[in-house]
Amino acid sequence: MDYVQDHTHEVMDKYNIPFSRIRIGIEERTLLQEVLDSGWLTTAGMTRRFEEEFAQMIGARFASAVNSCTAALHLGAEALGIRQGSKVFVPTMTFTASAEIIRYLGADPILLDVDYGTNLITPAILEEAILHHPDVQYMVLVHYGGQMAEMPALNSICGSHNIKILEDAAHAFPARLNGQTVGSFGNITCFSFYANKTITTGEGGMLVTDDEELHARIKTMRLHGINRDIWGRFTTKGSGWEYDVVEAGFKYNMPDLAAAIGLGQLGKAERWRKTRQDIAARYFQRLQGIPHLDLPVLNVDPQDHAWHLFPMVIKDSSRLNRNDFIDSMSKVGIGTSVHYKPLHRMTYYKDRYGLRNEDYPNSEKTWKGNVSLPLHSFLELEDVDLVCDAVIRLLG
């Protein structure tokens, strides 16, 4: 059954063109059947296959499948050494998961403003932030919307200031920078397979790393701090019952049921990216030049963009504000979304850290008018044209 999957699923019947929609084919169904027939539903061979094929696609030595990107970020932060009292740069223009995992570990996020147009942390922003916070040792770096941040330059700045980067690539599979795949630039990169992402397992995530020690720590902490994995314990002939607990770990493993869907999706990820690139190109072609609208800024080769989101900004000068625009689009059956209300405006971060809107001028300018258009593999170019017609009618 095909169904609409986005945050507005309660009203899904009303959208002729949903904001997001998953595509499940014969590959996922066949692999799921294999798991159902295997007699073992949780983490085992299918998860291992998914990990191996994912690592191969990235070009990383190790991949660890987990039950969300939030779990991946938590495990990655723990493995990198973020602890009570650590300070961590995090962009304000992101989902709360990028920052909340810092708090899980008793550390504090230092929220940074981002570049207007890309919503990324740039080398200039990072250098300025280091001047004000010379004691920061970590950064969560979000590859916003599917466009990669400038990894080589950021790596070099972080290298000379002893800052470790945890990459949040929840939006960025499969993304590249100068032809090099996301996940092959740094220490640990985390991916999301949440229901609206470029490939999905319903809920799920993945960490990739080339570092054997980090991988070992992640594997142990992913499953209760136990020193051997559950599949081996229950299914390997002659394997004893005994195991040791070496840490107070978490329960973050991905079940084979989810891995089967992920593995089925993986083979189609490149094709779907191309579809999304064509959709983004059409949006640019049709919406360029509307006076009261800023389109996303492209800093990478168009072939390298994963295009999870097409986020644009309705300027203050427009006759229609963002919320009225969203209502009007919804009335004609077109789903949209907002990425994001920045974290410095969220009560928890604002109150806890005494944050002021005026310290985040770029994100404030974005936030007042940001809205993301539909972008998924079910969209035909005729649908994209219908969306563009509506945008032009309302804002042109």
Catalytic residues: 197
Of 78, 100, 101, nearest to 219 by C-alpha is 78
Q: How far is the CB of 98 from ligand PLP (least distance, A)?
A: 5
Cα angle for residues 21, 331, 273 (degrees, 5° grid): 25
| From 20, 43, 47, 94, residue interacting with ligand PLP (rule: CB under 6 A) | 94
- Distance CA(381)–CA(375), nearest Å, equals 11
- Is 363 one of the binding residues for ligand PLP (CB under 6 A)? no
- Is 6 one of the binding residues for ligand PLP (CB under 6 A)? no
- Is 69 one of the binding residues for ligand PLP (CB under 6 A)? yes
| From 15, 19, 138, 194, residue interacting with ligand PLP (rule: CB under 6 A) | 194
Q: Which helix (H) or strand (E) holds 206?
A: strand 205-209
| From 168, 229, 256, 304, residue interacting with ligand PLP (rule: CB under 6 A) | 168
- Distance CA(158)–CA(43), nearest Å, equals 36
- In this complex, which beta carbon is closest to ligand PLP, that of residue 112 or of residue 391? 112
- Is 108 one of the binding residues for ligand PLP (CB under 6 A)? no
One-letter identity of residue 380: E
Q: How far is the CB of 70 from ligand PLP (least distance, A)?
A: 3
Q: What are the φ/ψ torsions at residue 66 (nearest 5 degrees)? A: -135, 180
Token pair recorded at residue 115: 């570049």
| From 65, 120, 130, 142, residue interacting with ligand PLP (rule: CB under 6 A) | 142
Q: How many residues bind ligand PLP (CB under 6 A)?
A: 14
- Contact segment (CB under 6 A) with ligand PLP among 39-47, 67-75, 173-181, 313-321 equals 67-75
- Contact segment (CB under 6 A) with ligand PLP among 63-71, 208-216, 352-360, 365-373 equals 63-71
Whether the Cβ atoms of residue 243 and residue 346 lie closer than 8 Å to each other: no
| From 89, 95, 173, 250, residue interacting with ligand PLP (rule: CB under 6 A) | 95
| Half-sphere exposure at residue 339, Cβ-oriented, CA atoms within 13 angstroms | 27
- Is 68 one of the binding residues for ligand PLP (CB under 6 A)? yes
- Is 19 one of the binding residues for ligand PLP (CB under 6 A)? no
- Distance CA(284)–CA(388), nearest Å, equals 10
Token pair recorded at residue 110: 């230092």
Greatest CA separation for the chain: 73
Q: How far is the CB of 207 from ligand PLP (least distance, A)?
A: 12
Dihedral of CA atoms 351, 357, 362, 368 in degrees, nearest 10, equals 100
- Distance CA(266)–CA(245), nearest Å, equals 34
Q: Which residues sit at the interface with ligand PLP, rule CB under 6 A?
A: 68-70, 94-95, 97-98, 142, 168, 170-171, 192, 194, 205
